[in-house]
Amino acid sequence: MLNQKENIIKSNNTINNHKIVIKIEHLKKSFNGNNVLKDINMIVCEGENVVILGKSGIGKSVLIKCIVGLIYPDAGLLKVFGKEVAEMNSRELNILRTRVGFIFQGNALYDSMTVRENLEFPLRRNKTITDPHVIEELIVDALENVGLVDAIDKMPSELSGGMKKRIGVARTLILKPEIILYDEPTTGLDPLTSREISNLILKIQNKYKASSIIISHDLNCSKITSNRMLILHEGIIRAEGTFDELKSSDDEWVRSYFKID
Amino acid sequence: MNLNIKKIFRNKAPKSNHKEFDLSQFKNIENFLNEIGGLSRFTGNFFRVLFRPPYEHKELLKQSFNIGLNTLSLIGITGFIMGLVLTLQSRPVMAEFGAESWLPGMVSVSIVREIGPVITALICAGKIGSGIGAELGSMRVTEQIDAMEVSGTNPMKYLVATRVLATTFMIPLLVFYSDALSFLGSYIAVNMHGFISFPLFINQAFDSLHYFDLIPATIKTFFFGFAIGIIGCYKGYFSENGTEGVGKAANSAVVISSLVIFIIDLIAVQLSEVFHIFTI
């Protein structure tokens, strides 16, 4: 596994022959004088699933929103595919956003559109495909990946929580992103559906070779999906390692995250 | 002596409360100025994205259709009642002066110049402004606007520009529609106490109208429409604090746009008076 301390960074963009897709150094962000992110340093390599664990309200979502330019950091370096996000113009940012998918905590499906229209929306705006048959094929393909072809003409209000989550994933997958950011993908779901979503994340990683950052509180999801885990605490990355490494850490505080009462 | 000084200092204690009071007043002024600044920046952004491709024709047509169609019945009913009531209320006074035959002319000037545009705009502020505020507000709190942004679509262009353009061009049409139904209401009211043929009624009503009545009244309705759209979008777009924030956004969209409609009307009346003097 990729342990930062043991690795030799050969160049700015590779680590142990793995291409770095996200590089964050000394990132800071505050809201109304409240320092949410104090000094974040992390990297994500190509094809790697990184889970970020931490208490609620600690700034995990803020961190991934910075990556797609929804929030701008106060200081520090944030490079995605080797380019500084803060220095991108709106055209470059739009291009970046087609390469980075974002799955929101509340799914953020457009509730005035059907499932088909939800999937069609990013496709028509970002790809040069105009042939309706090709668009239909891509939509069906994305829905097949999440096992919900039957829901194609349904409205989001007719779907269950787990189905909405899958449609959110399908909408992101349709642009074939190279990085996927999951904001608490299993929150509010029953254990069975959570497991299904976790397996889906793993399936996507294997099929599309996409890198992912997964924000989660769910230990089962973290165990299934993670190649590497980070624990965010008081605005810094306090611990880093694989699931098993962190679970059996010498640090009592780190182990406390893995205790089940 | 020392004791007296202490007493003086003690008596000075309420002064700090007075300072606090002053600060809170400044806070209100600061909030008001922030709101004006925010709305101005938002309007600037609207004009910045408006002329840049891609143009959202489909969404603009959809919004225009929704705004027009959904308000048609409400505007129709209120317009009809407005004409009816205005005629019924004015008739006794006109009859006292033996000027009943002037009713169609008086009603048409009142409706076309002032009552029609203002009442229609106020109803639209309530229905359309609150609808836009609530829709964009709920899209903001459920992260749909963020989702749109990360999928490479400019929400300012797709959501805001289309809605503001739709209100700007649909409100004048709704005002025409409302005016027409007001004339119908007025015609029925006139016929309740006597008889006048419809062609004669229309002839008398339009005889009293001049281009000077019609043109400024039409121009100001575009501004009413723009104000309703931009304020509704602004309040919804920056809505926060969950569902409570959505309610507040819808409510303040109505309150502020209603106030702005009266301010625009006041300015329009003053300007049209000035132009009228110059054209005489």
Residue B152: its chain A contacts at CB < 8 A?
94-95, 97-98, 122, 125-126
pLDDT average, residue stretch B47-74: 90
For residue B241, give both structure tokens.
């604090």
Q: Which residues on B lie below 8 Å from A121 (Cβ)?
A: 151, 153
Three-state SS at B56: coil
Provide the pLDDT for residue B130.
94
Cα of first residue to Cα of last residue in chain B, in angstroms, is: 79
Interface residue of B140, B146, B150, B162 to substitute, partner A, most A CBs within 10 Å: B150
Q: Which structural domains are found in chain A, ordered by start? A: 14-256 (3.40.50.300)
| Range picked from A187-191, B21-25, B84-88 for highest mean pLDDT | B84-88
CB contact under 8 A, A70 and B149: yes
Residue B149 to residue A111, Cβ atoms within 8 A: no
Query: Residue A110: phi, psi to the nearest 5?
Result: -75, 110
Cβ contacts of B226 within 8 Å, gap of 6 or more: B164, B167, B168
Residue with tokens 């100001």: B220
In the structure encoding, which two tokens stand for residue B27, read together?
Answer: 């806070």
Q: How far apart are CA B45 and CA A47, in angstroms?
A: 38
Nearest to B143 among A68, A98, A108 (CB): A108
Q: Which residues of A89-113 are buried (b: 16+ CB within 10 A; e: fewer)?
A: eeeeebebbbbbbbbbbbbbbbeee
Q: Which of B78, B67, B76, B179 is nearest to B130 (CA)?
A: B67
Contact B216, B268 (CB under 8 A): yes
Q: Residue B147 and residue A108: Cβ atoms within 8 Å?
A: yes
Q: Which of B143, B145, B157, B162 to mutate to test the interface with A (most CBs of A within 10 A)?
A: B143
Which residue type does B12 have?
A: K
Looking at residue B52, what DSSP letter applies?
S
Report the candidate in A141, A143, A213 with the shortest Cα–Cα distance to residue A179: A213
Of B146, B151, B154, the CB nearest to A121: B151
pLDDT of residue B7: 47
CB contact under 8 A, B152 and A104: no
CA distances from B174 to B70, B71, B73, B229, B240 (A): 11, 8, 10, 15, 32
Domain definitions of chain B by residue range: 57-279
Q: Nearest CB to A97: which of B142, B143, B150?
A: B150
The encoded tokens of residue A125 equal 């705006």
Return d(Cα A80, Cα A96) in angstroms, integer. 8
Cβ contact, residue pair A125, B142, below 8 Å? no
Task: Specify the higher pLDDT residue, B7 or A139.
Answer: A139
Average pLDDT in chain B: 87
Q: How far apart are CA A193 and CA A156, in angstroms?
A: 18
Question: Which residues of chain B are within 8 Å of residue A108 when distances are taken between CB atoms?
Answer: 142-144, 146-147
pLDDT tens digits, one per residue of B164-207:
999 999 999 999 999 999 999 999 999 988 888 999 999 988 88
> Chain A residue closest to B138 (CA)?
A111
Number of residues written out for chain B: 280
Interatomic CA distance for residues A218 and A184, integer angstroms: 8
CA distance B61 to A140: 28
Q: At CB < 8 Å, which residues of chain B contact A?
A: 142-144, 146-154
Q: What ipTM is given for this predicted complex? A: 0.84
Distance CA B197, CA B213 (A): 24
What pLDDT score does B19 carry?
52
Q: Which of A90-104, A226-240, B1-15 has the lowest mean pLDDT?
A: B1-15
The proportion of chain A whose per-residue pLDDT surpasses 90, expressed as a percent, equals 33
What was the pLDDT predicted at A17? Answer: 66
> Which of the 8 DSSP states describes residue B102?
G
Higher pLDDT, B153 or B3: B153
Close Cβ partners of B182 (under 8 Å, ≥ 6 residues apart):
B79, B80, B82, B83, B86, B107, B111, B115, B116
Look at residue B279 in the predicted model and tell me its pLDDT.
60
How does residue B280 score in pLDDT terms, banded at 50, 70 and 90?
A: low
Are A106 and B143 an interchain contact pair (Cβ–Cβ within 8 Å)? yes
Q: Provide the CA A75 distance to its chain's centre, in angstroms.
A: 22
- Nearest CB to B146: which of A101, A104, A121? A104
CB contacts, 8 Å: B144 with chain A:
108-111
Query: In the predicted model, is pLDDT for residue A15 greater than 80?
Result: no
Q: How far is CA A189 from CA A117, A185, A196, B156, in A?
A: 25, 9, 10, 33
Phi/psi region, residue A57 (left: phi>0; alpha: psi -120 to 50; beta: rest), is left
Residue A125 has pLDDT above 90, yes or no: no
B140 to chain A nearest CA, in Å? 10
Chain A residues near residue B154 by CB distance under 8 angstroms: 90
Confirm if B207 and B105 have CB atoms less than 8 A apart: yes
Report how far residue A137's alpha carbon sits from residue A119's, in angstroms, rounded to the nearest whole number: 11
Q: Are B233 and B249 in contact (CB under 8 A)?
A: no
